[in-house]
Structure 1
Amino acid sequence: MYVEDDYLMLSGIQHFLFCKRQWALIHIEQIWSENIYTSQGQIIHQKVDQPFIKEKRRGLILSRAMDVSSCQLGLSGTLDLIEFHKAEEGVELENRSGKWQPVIVEYKRGKKKKYAYDEVQLMAQGICIEENLSIKLDYGYLYYQQTDTRERVDFTQDLRNLTIKSAQEMHDYYRRKYIPPAEYFKNCRLCSIYEECRPRLTKKSKNIQRYIYGAEL
């Protein structure tokens, strides 16, 4: 369990799984730059994250920009959207009659990814809601703007374990102020902090020496 002063940004867990060095440079070294992809992501979330806009339809309440946290994960952040569906097995809400089942919806700029980066972020949000509302969640949704698709994510035990392990590792890196060494991948140039990271130069010390001296040492 973590105390509030030690909480890290919940959204960072997606960055951490995508590239641990990127996460460390942003969250430990406080290095940040914008590019077209980060700007597009901010535009999408600005449209969604309106905390004072709540919609109610028959048997459904939509709440945006809800602040959540988890002492188990040591993370805090803001949800894009949480739907409350009227259901007997749900939770009670202030000034609302009956019980309501929460379902989280996280918005993403691109399309569904090969690896579970986004799913872990959604699961971390789910653990926050479970703690905050004292309820067990079975699933949530990822909405991908590029493909206009809404993907259901089941909150399996394997996904929970990966999320807890990732959060623990994030805290370990942050406590030690550890910056992982660079690894170069084909998508590195799409990263907003590519220039600050310089993965081609920092991947191996021998490569840096070649760059400086122009010869094999």
Structure 2
Amino acid sequence: MPLSALQHWLFCPRQCALIHVERLWAENLFTVEGRVLHDRADSGTSESRDGIRTLRSVQLGSNRHGLHGVADVVEMRGAMPYPVEYKRGRPKAHRADEVQLCAQGLCLEEMMAQDVSEGALFYGKNRRRKVVAFDPDLRALTLRVADEARTAIVAGHVPPPVYEAKRCGACSLFNFCRPIGARDIGTSWLAERIAKAGVPSEP
């Protein structure tokens, strides 16, 4: 299970299925901005500063949890790994970014045979880090999301489209998805305008 699939699933199960079952992808302004932000993190180069060794584009995997992927950055603070995930926007109300980061922590725990208690999300809009504690609740959520996403992907299940203005407006797969609610909103808007104009409906 790709680590990114957990973030996709919690953000929108249909988006996850379109990417990981249907193998669809498209770019928009938000994905391009994210790619630019990741350029340095994905360079694969490392550096040491103030006693912290920074590793970039780190391959991760967990046999126990069936996860694999790439961490943008892993800071080695002595022998302790500290994952840092780069995101283009701002901190969000949902926990999709936190789940993706926690999954990285679970992989690092297995790979390095030690506890990883926290990591950080770096958001491009405010240029700040948000520290994320890998507490029991977040760990349980991460494993539950991994199981749900894995079950759906293995079954080849693509959930039906459900329109949500803010979420769908930011999704690069909108034209592939064609959420039903978006068309319903257009129909409602037209009906409302007709009613206001006083045009009689058909008998």
- Give the structure-2-normalised TM-score: 0.86
2:25 to 32, 35, 60: 32
What residue number does 1:117 align with?
A: 96
CA distance in 2, matches of 1:24, 1:202: 19
2:10 to 12, 17, 33: 17
**RMSD between superposed Cα atoms in Å:** 1.7
Gaps of 5+ in 2: 188-203
Determine whether 1:140 maps to 2:119.
yes
Q: 1:17 is aligned with what amino acid?
A: L
Q: What is the Cα deviation at residue 22 of structure 1?
A: 0.5
Q: 2:143 is aligned with what amino acid?
A: I
Identity %: 39
What residue number does 1:194 align with?
A: 174
Moved more, 186-195 or 176-185: 186-195
Equivalences for residues 1-217 of structure 1 within 5 A: 8-51=1-44, 53-86=45-78, 100-187=79-166, 188-200=168-180
CA distance in 2, matches of 1:15, 1:189: 15
3-state SS of 2:165 partner: coil
CA distance in 1, matches of 2:170, 2:92: 15
Q: What is the Cα deviation at residue 201 of structure 1?
A: 6.5
8 Å CA contact retained: 1:183, 1:203 = no
1:17-48 Cα deviation digits (max 9, x unpaired)? 00000000111001111111111111111221
Gaps of 5+ in 1: 1-7, 87-99, 208-217
By percentage of residues, which structure has more helix? 2
What residue number does 1:91 align with?
A: none
CA distance in 1, matches of 2:153, 2:91: 29
Q: What is the Cα deviation at residue 200 of structure 1?
A: 2.4
8 Å CA contact retained: 1:13, 1:167 = yes
CA distance in 1, matches of 2:57, 2:173: 27
CA distance in 2, matches of 1:145, 1:202: 29
8 Å CA contact retained: 1:182, 1:203 = no
Q: What is the Cα deviation at residue 152 of structure 1?
A: 0.5
Corresponding residue pairs, total: 184
Q: 1:135 is aligned with what amino acid?
A: Q
What residue number does 1:4 align with?
A: none
CA distance in 1, matches of 2:18, 2:57: 26
8 Å CA contact retained: 1:62, 1:82 = yes
